[in-house]
Amino acid sequence: MADTVQAPNPKTNSMNTVPLAANVAPVVAPPSPGQNLDPASFAVNVAGVMEAITQPLFSYQSYPAGGPTAPLVFFQSQPSGAISQEDTNMQLAGQLPAPQKFLIQGIGVDFLGGLNAARFGAESANGLLNDFWAVMKRGLFTLTIGSKNYLQFTTMLFAPPRAHIGGMAAVTDNTTAAANLQTMVQIGYTEGDVFKPRPLLLEASQNFQATISYPGGAAPAIPSADAAARIGVIFYGTLYRPAQ
């Protein structure tokens, strides 16, 4: 049987039954002024229920070839203009939007050089491995939440991100004078488990930042003068957000 609605008959001032097609639902009249409606009945989120997903927070920036002249500050920007979603997935600068929360369960510091992974002969003197070692062996990492420091460690080798290139290399040469031949294939990365501190919960709208500073002297320059190098901080953990 088709659904029906009641429509007034202008001649008799009575209600006529008007059939509706089976795939058409009756239109709900807008609420009259003063009608009390429960806002919760229109919510797009499930009230009081949060979902937990595995989602790291990350923040990358350029590392100056001559070394930074001020502490490097992370998680203080969001995608806009020259900063893209490849640089950071922060939605707000320095805080999480309400009502999200994030549980930090691991930390990694990542250096990405702009040079090719393989260098041969004399070129290997200024290769990626030398750049990596110069930058990552220095620095003081500080995690600040609110107005307090919750974590500090020195040398960025302390927190490997477990991200590196694996592969094979083969070399061949058909010259007869081999005395001056030199071949090196190199790439730098930190090896080991992700550093896992005691978990720290970032509340919604709570200010936080990570910094890499150089209180022991000038920040290290990149030996190859690589202008495309980047450095980043990754928080591994759990993101909590309203269930839908």
Predicted confidence at residue 41, as pLDDT, reads: 74
Predicted confidence at residue 4, as pLDDT, reads: 47
Predicted confidence at residue 2, as pLDDT, reads: 47
pLDDT at 44 over 70: yes
Please, is 235 exposed, middle or buried when counting C-beta atoms within 10 Å of its C-beta (0-12, 13-18, 19+)?
A: buried
Residue-range domain boundaries for the chain: 49-242
Predicted confidence at residue 18, as pLDDT, reads: 56
Task: Give the tens place of pLDDT for each residue, 147-167.
Answer: 999 999 999 999 999 877 776
pLDDT at 1 over 50: no
Task: Give the tens place of pLDDT for each residue, 95-110.
Answer: 999 999 999 999 999 9
Between residues 34 and 190, the one the model is more confident about: 190
Token digits of residue 228: 């495309």
Bridge partners (DSSP) listed for residue 70:
none
